[in-house]
Amino acid sequence: MATPTKSILITGAGLVGSLLSIYLRRRGYEVSIYERRGDMRKETVEAGRSINLALSDRGIKALQGVGIAEEVLQIAIPMHGRHLHQPDGSHAFQPYGKEGQYINSVSRHELNCKLLDLAEREGVHLHFHQRCDHVNWKKKEVHFAGPNETSTVPFDLLFGADGAYSATRLSHMLQHQKFDYQQYYIDCGYKELSIPAGAAGAFQLEKNALHIWPRGNYMLIALPNLDGSFTGTLFFPFEGETSFERLKTEADVEAFFRQTFPDLVPLVPDLARQFFHNPTSSLVTVKCFPWVRGDHFALIGDAAHAIVPFFGQGMNAGFEDCTVLAELMEQWGDDWEPILAEYQALRKPDGDAIADLAINNFTEMRARTADPKFLLQKKIEAWVHESHPDQWIPAYSQVTFSPHIRYSEALRNSQRQEAIMQEVMKDPDIAENWKREDVKERILAALRG
């Protein structure tokens, strides 16, 4: 392979920008990353979003591509299923998939630091406290604002990896015609609450599970950390009868949690303090097009496709962008026009699909988990899956454990499954008759047909 001459600039040293830089460097490019915040390995930087994340097969595949998956999995905690906490204090465990299928709780900070370390070792030039201000597309240069001065940096190829509120994308949008942009906030926000470790670093909840307290139109989840603590996230409406705006005093918060999450309260002594101290953040979906321009510009990660976190896929999707780019570089070498065109053709439908799947999951959780008919439908689906695991694959498994199935395919499959189940649920006696072989056969025949 001849040494490529292009110099590549990436805005954003988050999870996706850092991983992308390693892939590019491995192909011999000069790569520089410019990051708005300080170096998180040396300074305390503002926490950003979610303290820990669920890393699943698509993300792991991308990390394997640069040989860092094993190292990352050593700092991850396997979560084999959902541990459900009901309002009456009862518990239930639902495995995620087949035996041996699990997702991994990993610290965002630790993962990002590992990627930055590797990027630096590979020779990526890292620049911190450099905020992308705007791009001069004619001259192919980016203007950055530093703490005391501004700078202008030329590029041959620019990747915007600067997250959901990407300034690079904004500059692209403002200066190029026919840029489609859609941004959608859900009416729920989120707040993180730490559940500390017990005595001698003991886990106060089952360690190897993702804990969920489902409560109709809101929920709390918790993922384990290596030090024995859990990071809880309350997904909660901003406004309305039960909402952030209604919890005004520490007494309100304590009473609400005692009533709604009774088994959680004894585990978090400073719950009310945390509630008012920790920020409330919003959840946005961003869809846009085009993601690329000629042979010299592309959006990647959240900058291209920010999604709500109800499938645990935002980072995994951004990492998968890197896998796809790596495959295209293998195919096209240094010829970036077809690489970027194919990257967009492949990833835009998949970005849209995972955004829709994530929103559907949110709406479903809210609207339907208290509906007995919906619960029956899910029970039937689980029963069919149990006896025919290779034919009826739940959407969650397709997304989480099947990197060979594209997100767009998983969305189509899940819509087809839903249509089949809607027909089955029309049977007025389904509640009595569902566990019959002929019902199962009907479902499988519809799936095959």
Ligand X SMILES: Cc1cc2nc3c(=O)[nH]c(=O)nc-3n(C[C@H](O)[C@H](O)[C@H](O)COP(=O)(O)OP(=O)(O)OC[C@H]3O[C@@H](n4cnc5c(N)ncnc54)[C@H](O)[C@@H]3O)c2cc1C
Point out which residues bind ligand X (CB under 6 A): 11-17, 34-37, 49-50, 53-54, 131-132, 161-163, 167, 190, 233, 301-302, 309, 312-316, 318
Q: Which is nearer to ligand X, 161 or 272 (CB)?
A: 161
* Nearest distance from C-beta of residue 189 to ligand X, angstroms: 10
On whether the CB atoms of residues 375 and 421 are closer than 8 A, the answer is: no
CA pair distance 346, 101, nearest whole angstrom = 27
Q: Which is nearer to ligand X, 361 or 377 (CB)?
A: 361
CA pair distance 110, 227, nearest whole angstrom = 13
* Nearest distance from C-beta of residue 248 to ligand X, angstroms: 24
User: Which residue is it, tokens 């920008």?
Assistant: 17
Tokens standing for residue 148: 């005391």
On whether the CB atoms of residues 7 and 32 are closer than 8 A, the answer is: yes
Q: Which is nearer to ligand X, 366 or 440 (CB)?
A: 366
Q: Which is nearer to ligand X, 161 or 292 (CB)?
A: 161
* Nearest distance from C-beta of residue 80 to ligand X, angstroms: 16
CA pair distance 323, 215, nearest whole angstrom = 37
On whether the CB atoms of residues 10 and 32 are closer than 8 A, the answer is: yes
Kindly list the distances between the CA atom of residue 28 and the CA atoms of 4, 320, 336, 387, 405, in Å, as whole numbers in the listed order: 6, 21, 14, 49, 30
State the amino acid at position 18 in one-letter form: S
* Nearest distance from C-beta of residue 259 to ligand X, angstroms: 24
Q: Which is nearer to ligand X, 15 or 420 (CB)?
A: 15
* Nearest distance from C-beta of residue 266 to ligand X, angstroms: 25
CB-based contacts of 249-252 (< 8 A; 24+ apart in sequence): 250/275, 250/276
Q: Which is nearer to ligand X, 54 or 420 (CB)?
A: 54
* Nearest distance from C-beta of residue 105 to ligand X, angstroms: 8
CA pair distance 133, 146, nearest whole angstrom = 10
Q: Which is nearer to ligand X, 17 or 232 (CB)?
A: 17
* Nearest distance from C-beta of residue 191 to ligand X, angstroms: 10
On whether the CB atoms of residues 224 and 76 are closer than 8 A, the answer is: no
Q: Is-cis flag, bond preceding 290, omega within 30?
A: yes
**DSSP β-bridge partners for residue 53:** 106
On whether the CB atoms of residues 275 and 266 are closer than 8 A, the answer is: no
Radius of gyration of the chain (CA): 23
On whether the CB atoms of residues 413 and 393 are closer than 8 A, the answer is: yes
Q: Which is nearer to ligand X, 120 or 254 (CB)?
A: 120
Q: Determine the residue with CB nearest ligand X.
A: 14
